[in-house]
Amino acid sequence: MGLNLTQKIIKSHLLSGEMKTQNQISIRIAQTLTQDATGTMAYLQFEALGVPRVKTELSVSYVDHNTLQEDFKNPDDHEFLRTIAAKHGIVFSRPGNGICHQVHLERFGKPGKTLLGSDSHTPTGGGIGMLAIGAGGLDVAMAMAGSPYTLKMPGVVKVVLTGELPPWVAAKDIILEVLRRDTVKGGVGFVYEYSGPALKNLTVPERATITNMGAELGATSSVFPSDDVTLNFLKAQGREKDWIRLEPDTDAVYERELYIDLSKLEPMAACPHMPDQVKTIRELEGLEVQQVAIGSCTNSSFVDIARVACILDGKQVSPNLSLGISPGSRQVLMNIAEKGYYQKLVKAGARILECTCGPCIGQGFAPPTAGVSVRTFNRNFEKRSGTPDAKLYLVSPEVAAVAAIAGKFTDPRKFGEYPKVQMPEKFSIDDSMIIYPNADGSKVEIKRGPNIAPLPLGTPMPSELKGETLIVTGDNITTDHIMPAGKYLPLRSNVPEYAKHVFEGVDKEFPARAKKVGGGFIIGGENYGQGSSREHAALCPMYLGVKAVIVKSFARIHLANLVNFGILPLTFKNPDDYSKISLGDQLSIDVSNLKGNVTVKNITKNQGYEVSHPLSDRDIEIIKAGGQLSYEKMKSCA
């Protein structure tokens, strides 16, 4: 029986376990990436592991999230990241060099390799044929220290793309179509593998738009084969030596198949407040727009921005809105400047923002009150933009540019001729904002600003967990709900301060209540913890004394983060039990035998609920020790 692409890459990195769907396996991680908002914690954790040099083939530390620098906190963190990278053998991409996923694709990604990144959009690397997985910072720290990465062998969905994209229909519309069909939780436990005759017309950056936003399906990753298109991209980056051909076997087997005829697609948008709330632009036609934002790791490549420039050429941005453009990398910025596109954007009235995440993570350029913001990004969760009542729509750069001119949603197919923009045969390349570490970093002094608080450690779990129900949430709770980013991002290195904002947008009283009663339990619905990889959504609740999270189902990365920080993740055997628990109910759980049947006792209501968990024996040991770091410490003392 032949192997699919996912199985091929896993097989060549497999360290233990059998490649059977849902089996626990562990793989060698070839490359890692971190970004600053998760990176400071990841490197503090790496430091705590006591390994002098990273053991991966390549580890890169990017600064792209926290770049506004309103005070000392962010620049201090940048200094910490720069110096700790030099000490431990990590490549450092300086602030201003670009968004981690875009730069990694351009300069470092290699077909056939594994990549683990402390950011949920790490699967962007699948656009170049990598098996690229998002994880919590601690998992990335462990991988840098040479530990295997443990995961459940994913099932593989084959997405067969046929036909050709009509003019004004873009790669973004392909992933919106997948989201429309499979929803934000349909991908949990799967890798989406793209194939079919249409691939030859999809460039690497277009493929990367699709694999990037595959994160919104809850998928483990998404991957494209490495073919001649991949070779051309690597040639244009002066990296053809990194190319290998990598395709699935012709008799490969898949769990499920999805067929999309590209010629039948039309321009679409994900409507507030979830990426799977997809409608056609025809349905939204005429809706007034107050802001347009073009950029983010989903749609900020050279062709994306150049095409926007061609659409805006000779026109003016509508006086009723503001258009912000953040090119994905310094390379994109330099190339659009050299080829005259930058000038067109500025002339049309676009506001050029830094090459960073920017408005995507609520770092500046917030929409006006109740404003409709049309964005080429990947997430439209409520409050993420910094304006609590803004309405965020996710679209292609084409749709965004036309809306910027018209001031309202307009079917771009009415706009005129579709501008043809070719990917350059050779990009103009300048790596001078990438700092490579010296062979010996032992003398480097690490700079630690006052914002960097010591890493909190969990304590061993007692045999019975007892406490109060601190919150009962609904379905699809995102990590942005649990641990808001935006204006609080500079607190990422300071858990005691950041923990004051847990669940702020959902229930402002949560941190005070948790502190007052000495911690307790979180009750939730389906797909709890979807979205970002931020481990603070586990770390800060742990700091506030949360002992267990009991839900209908979990998102993958958040589940792993809960284990890493010693919080017991449980799922209701009977989903109806969820509605029987109320805020303030006293609960107790006998955890002396987590391998047997586990019951949550509701002392207040005198009820019992059967629960299960997806934990391996090792996960149980980790939770009992109070989390991964405490577990590692215990192991090294034993």
Footprint on this chain of ligand SF4 (rule: CB under 6 A): 65, 99, 119, 121, 296-297, 357, 360-361, 377-378
Q: Which is nearer to ligand MIC, 92 or 521 (CB)?
A: 92
Q: How far apart are CA 494 and CA 73, in angstroms?
A: 10
Catalytic residue among 65, 78, 121, 375: 65
Residue 607: burial class (beta carbons within 10 Å; 0-12, 13-18, 19+): middle
DSSP, collapsed to helix, strand or coil, labels residue 428 as coil
Q: How far is the CB of 243 from ligand SF4 (least distance, A)?
A: 26
Catalytic residue among 121, 384, 534, 558: 534
Q: Which is nearer to ligand SF4, 161 or 274 (CB)?
A: 274
379 has catalytic annotation = yes
Catalytic residue among 78, 307, 379, 384: 379
Catalytic residue among 36, 76, 77, 119: 119
Q: Which is nearer to ligand MIC, 153 or 489 (CB)?
A: 489
In the DSSP assignment, the letter for residue 153 is P
DSSP, collapsed to helix, strand or coil, labels residue 219 as strand
Q: Which is nearer to ligand SF4, 275 or 458 (CB)?
A: 275
CB 86 within 8 A of CB 437: yes
Total number of residues shown for the chain = 638
Q: How far apart are CA 381 and CA 165, in angstroms?
A: 28
119 has catalytic annotation = yes
Tokens of 416: 């005129």
Q: For residue 150, list its beta bridge partners.
A: 26
532 has catalytic annotation = yes
Q: Which residues bind ligand MIC (CB under 6 A)?
A: 37-38, 65, 119-121, 134, 361, 379, 485, 531-534
Q: How far apart are CA 232 and CA 542, in angstroms?
A: 47
Picking from 471, 507, 502, the residue whose alpha carbon sits closest to that of residue 484 is 502
Place of tokens 């017991």: 568
Contacted by 296, from ligand SF4, ligand MIC, none: CB < 5 to 8 Å by type:
ligand SF4
Q: Which is nearer to ligand MIC, 195 or 296 (CB)?
A: 296
CB 116 within 8 A of CB 230: no
Q: How far is the CB of 36 from ligand SF4 (least distance, A)?
A: 10
Q: How far is the CB of 589 from ligand SF4 (least distance, A)?
A: 35
Q: How far apart are CA 197 and CA 186, in angstroms?
A: 25
Contacted by 106, from ligand MIC, ligand SF4, none: CB < 5 to 8 Å by type:
none
Q: How far apart are CA 472 and CA 478, in angstroms?
A: 14
Contacted by 193, from ligand SF4, ligand MIC, none: CB < 5 to 8 Å by type:
none
Picking from 450, 458, 505, the residue whose alpha carbon sits closest to that of residue 633 is 458
Q: How far is the CB of 38 from ligand MIC (least distance, A)?
A: 4
Tokens of 271: 């409507």
Contacted by 534, from ligand SF4, ligand MIC, none: CB < 5 to 8 Å by type:
ligand MIC
Contacted by 501, from ligand SF4, ligand MIC, none: CB < 5 to 8 Å by type:
none
Contacted by 533, from ligand SF4, ligand MIC, none: CB < 5 to 8 Å by type:
ligand MIC
Q: How far is the CB of 260 from ligand SF4 (least distance, A)?
A: 23
501 has catalytic annotation = no
Q: How far is the CB of 302 from ligand SF4 (least distance, A)?
A: 16
Residues with Cβ < 8 Å from 283, sequence gap 6 or more? none
Q: How many CA atoms lie within 13 A of 114 on its CB side?
A: 28
Contacted by 38, from ligand MIC, ligand SF4, none: CB < 5 to 8 Å by type:
ligand MIC
Q: How far is the CB of 77 from ligand MIC (least distance, A)?
A: 12
Q: Which is nearer to ligand SF4, 323 or 489 (CB)?
A: 489
Contacted by 99, from ligand MIC, ligand SF4, none: CB < 5 to 8 Å by type:
ligand SF4
Q: What are the backbone angles phi and psi of residue 385, rounded to the nearest 5°?
A: -80, -10
Q: Which is nearer to ligand MIC, 492 or 552 (CB)?
A: 492
Q: Which is nearer to ligand MIC, 318 or 380 (CB)?
A: 380
Q: Which is nearer to ligand SF4, 293 or 548 (CB)?
A: 293
Q: How far is the CB of 356 from ligand SF4 (least distance, A)?
A: 8
In the DSSP assignment, the letter for residue 1 is -
Tokens of 536: 């603070």
Q: How far is the CB of 491 from ligand SF4 (least distance, A)?
A: 16
Residue 18: burial class (beta carbons within 10 Å; 0-12, 13-18, 19+): exposed
Q: What are the backbone angles phi and psi of residue 230, rounded to the nearest 5°?
A: -65, -45
Residue 187's identity, in one-letter code, is G
Catalytic residue among 532, 533, 553, 630: 532
Q: For residue 621, list its beta bridge partners.
A: none
CB 527 within 8 A of CB 219: no
Distances (CA, A) of 353 to 18, 299, 325, 539: 47, 14, 6, 32
Contacted by 53, from ligand MIC, ligand SF4, none: CB < 5 to 8 Å by type:
none
| Catalytic site positions | 64-65, 119, 379, 532, 534
